[in-house]
Amino acid sequence: MSQSSCQWITVLGSTGSIGVSTLDVIARHPERYRVYALTAHTSREVLLNQCLVHRPRIAVLDHSDDAQWLRQALDEADQPTVVLAGREALCQVAREACVDAVMAAIVGAAGLLPALAAAEAGKRVLLANKEALVMSGALFMQAVERSGATLLPIDSEHNAIYQCLPVKHRGGLERHGVRQLLLTASGGPFRTWSADKVAKATPDQACAHPNWSMGRKISVDSATMMNKGLELIEACWLFDATPEQIQVVVHPQSVIHSMAAYIDGSVIAQLGNPDMRIPIAYGLAWPERVEAGVETLDLFQIAQLDFEAPDEARFPCLRLAREAMQKGGAAPAILNAANEVAVEAFLAERLSFGEIANVVEEVVSQPYAGNADTIENILAADHWARQQAAQRVMLQAG
């Protein structure tokens, strides 16, 4: 592949764990990929180092003072990267005409608008930001269909299911002979803990994931199993499935990343070492395959694979997510916003681990008159839920 035929990649959220892994895969294939833009929230020093190594055309930070700092540092290093700031700049680098693929890896609701901009622009969207579909599933999938965008899931579980399904799987699972999707979960760091011990867990304990290296927010979501609940919602939109067609399976080894069960009794699974570079490389190269820097799974070393049902009594967030998807409308966006506020409070030690689910359940149980038919209404629901959750955190802290 000549340099002129290289694909230009925008990495939204380049300083997070997914962004770092994406740049690792890109660097292994300079003949295939070039970095168009890198973006970060506030990690300006990390973004500076990434700019010096990968030499993007554009870098984006959320705040203008951080952007000015980065601009000056790059000028001193004689690096010509253009530095921009703000939400609109994120959307700009996601929809830029020369960009072939966008890695949407901004954590949380903040990643919704730039991911949607990439979809509306008809890009190959490598979706690692599950909140985009949790909050605006119908609108997002409509944008993909209208623009002709290619949507490739990067979460290891959804990427695994994508690989286990027929190439064309829209129109309902039954149409393609699929009975059920089996969404695997590690169980997180508290899988074997008692309910009383789980309720008193500290932020450091919640972030000590046994298998995956992830950011603190998603690590807490894994510990509460809200992450799996959000993935259930995401899977419904990605694969045109109902919540009843998705079974969560706790698989502590994190070797089988997910499965598809067919009506003839077959179950197709995707296996691999727990390394996000595998689904990232799949998304970047699809429909081809490229080396990802990951060792092939050694089945003799693994030796044993275990499975168990999730305990929704100890981890009620999974139930709350399923109920939100069944309710529909703005409920998933409200669930996500309340959870983000509760997790932030927990990480700041203003809320106990056991109270995270309580805050979320109290917010999603409140009546909400709005709907989710426009992006403005979705953002309004998000704002309302954050206010409700913040009030409940204050009451808990008081």
Residue 215 annotated as lining a ligand binding site: yes
The number of beta carbons lying within 10 Å of the beta carbon of residue 205 is 15
| Residue whose entry in the numeric block shows the structure tokens 């540092």 | 73
Residue 340 annotated as lining a ligand binding site: no
Residue 295 annotated as lining a ligand binding site: no
First-last CA distance in the chain = 62
Q: Tell me how many degrees the CA angle 204-231-247 measures, rounded to the nearest 5.
A: 110
Residue 272 annotated as lining a ligand binding site: no
Spatial distance between the Cα atoms of 30 and 381, rounded to a whole number of angstroms? 43
Residue 42 annotated as lining a ligand binding site: no
By residue count, the chain amounts to: 398
Residue 18 annotated as lining a ligand binding site: yes
Residue 280 annotated as lining a ligand binding site: no
Residue 174 annotated as lining a ligand binding site: no
At residue 360, φ and ψ (nearest 5 deg) are -60, -45
Spatial distance between the Cα atoms of 288 and 292, rounded to a whole number of angstroms? 12
Residue 17 annotated as lining a ligand binding site: yes
Is the omega angle on the peptide bond into residue 332 within 30 degrees of 0, that is, cis?
no
Residue 228 annotated as lining a ligand binding site: yes
Residue 371 annotated as lining a ligand binding site: no
Spatial distance between the Cα atoms of 269 and 271, rounded to a whole number of angstroms? 6
Is the omega angle on the peptide bond into residue 153 within 30 degrees of 0, that is, cis?
no
Residue 157 annotated as lining a ligand binding site: yes
Residue 349 annotated as lining a ligand binding site: no
Residue 159 annotated as lining a ligand binding site: no
Residue 15 annotated as lining a ligand binding site: yes
CA distances from 357 to 180, 207, 224, 366, 396 (A): 27, 17, 8, 15, 12
Largest CA distance in the chain: 64
Residue 131 annotated as lining a ligand binding site: yes
Residue 200 annotated as lining a ligand binding site: no
Please report, in range form, the residues annotated as the binding site for NADPH. 15-18, 129, 131, 215
Please report, in range form, the residues annotated as the binding site for 1-deoxy-D-xylulose 5-phosphate. 130, 156-157, 186, 209, 222, 227-228, 231
Please report, in range form, the residues annotated as the binding site. 15-18, 129-131, 155-157, 186, 209, 215, 222, 227-228, 231
Please report, in range form, the residues annotated as the binding site for Mn(2+). 155, 157, 231
